[in-house]
Amino acid sequence: MDRYAVIGHPIGHSKSPLIHALFAAATGQALEYTAIEAPLDGFAATVNTFRAAGGRGVNVTVPFKLEACAYATEVSERARIAGAANALAFDGTHCRADNFDGVGLVRDIVTNLRHPIAGKRVLMLGAGGAARGALQPLLAAGPTELFIANRSAAKAAELANAFHALGLGAGVLAGGGWDDLAARGAYDIVINATSASLTAEPLPLPPGVFGHDTLAYDMVYGKGLTPFLRQARDAGAGRLADGLGMLVEQAAETFAWWRGVRPTTLPVIERLRVPLA
């Protein structure tokens, strides 16, 4: 049976084995998918061991996404732009890397939540790896504005400039700090890509960034109403979502990349969904 795994540290909470088992059952694919915790200094060794035992591919999660890019012999353009990979596929000595996080996010917003990005104003909170990974697919979805706001304003501006240097986001993408938000009005979509939800800290956002039709999207999942989502609800945001759909959509993209069959995602999202409030 073909073997796959998700590798991270820690890995205990991962829903990926269940998601891929549901996909395999629904598409009639015979495969095994497990979760492997690699030591912080042992990503490459762990992948090598898995490959030597016949592994065909892995998903990669925190904190190894950058290392996954460096490990591969062939890196997709979007993974290179993201500076990170979340999926590897093995073929003999060859190893391909790709990043499906951003396309998963866009698919969840546009297809599942039916919230268009084209022609809309999008606010990205955070300028770390999670934000960077989502920028190119978000830009490709055609927003009129994509503003990156970050605790460290300089880091957000640097990220926007790095994309401009790659020829991406001219006239659309810009970055700054929380103080820049008050003057910018309400956004159609506000995405939380900071790691603040993991520490239960609210962000210093002016309530005016949320309007009645705003979709507030937290990339984390399974944490119920995060401080960010509570903040958005209290400020009047019309629609709240956590990152479960993004997780399932990126898994489906990975599954299709490995197996050549794209599973249906909505039944899996429904099965795993935990009510937000």
Query: Which residues are the active-site residues?
Result: 65
> Does residue number 194 form part of the binding site for ligand ATR (CB under 6 A)?
yes
Measured CA to CA, the distance from residue 145 to residue 173 in angstroms comes to 6
Estimate the crossing angle of helix 129-140 against helix 153-165, to 10 degrees: 40
> Does residue number 195 form part of the binding site for ligand ATR (CB under 6 A)?
yes
Of residues 125-144, which lie at the interface with ligand ATR (CB under 6 A)? 126-131
Q: What are phi and psi for residue 267, nearest 5 degrees?
A: -60, -35
Residue type, 168: L
Burial class (CB in 10 A: 0-12, 13-18, 19+), 204: exposed
Candidate list 9, 15, 151, 164; residue touching ligand ATR; CB under 6 A: 151
Of residues 199-218, which lie at the interface with ligand ATR (CB under 6 A)? 199, 201, 203
Sheet containing strand 87-91, strands side by side: 31-37, 2-8, 55-60, 87-91, 94-98, 74-75
Q: Which residues touch 16 (CB under 8 Å, ≥6 apart)?
A: 6, 33, 35, 59, 61, 247, 251
> Does residue number 152 form part of the binding site for ligand ATR (CB under 6 A)?
yes
The site map against ligand ATR for 87-126 (x = CB under 6 A) is ---------------------------------------x
Token pair listed for 238: 């019309």
Answer yes or no: is 133 a known binding residue: no
> Does residue number 155 form part of the binding site for ligand ATR (CB under 6 A)?
yes
> Does residue number 150 form part of the binding site for ligand ATR (CB under 6 A)?
yes
Piece of the chain touching ligand ATR by CB under 6 A; list 24-32, 149-157, 232-240, 260-268: 149-157
Answer yes or no: is 86 a known binding residue: yes
Number of helices (H), then strands (E), in the chain: 10, 12
Applying CB under 6 A, which residues contact ligand ATR? 126-131, 150-152, 155, 194-196, 199, 201, 203
Q: Which residues are annotated as a binding site for NADP(+)?
A: 77, 126-130, 219, 243
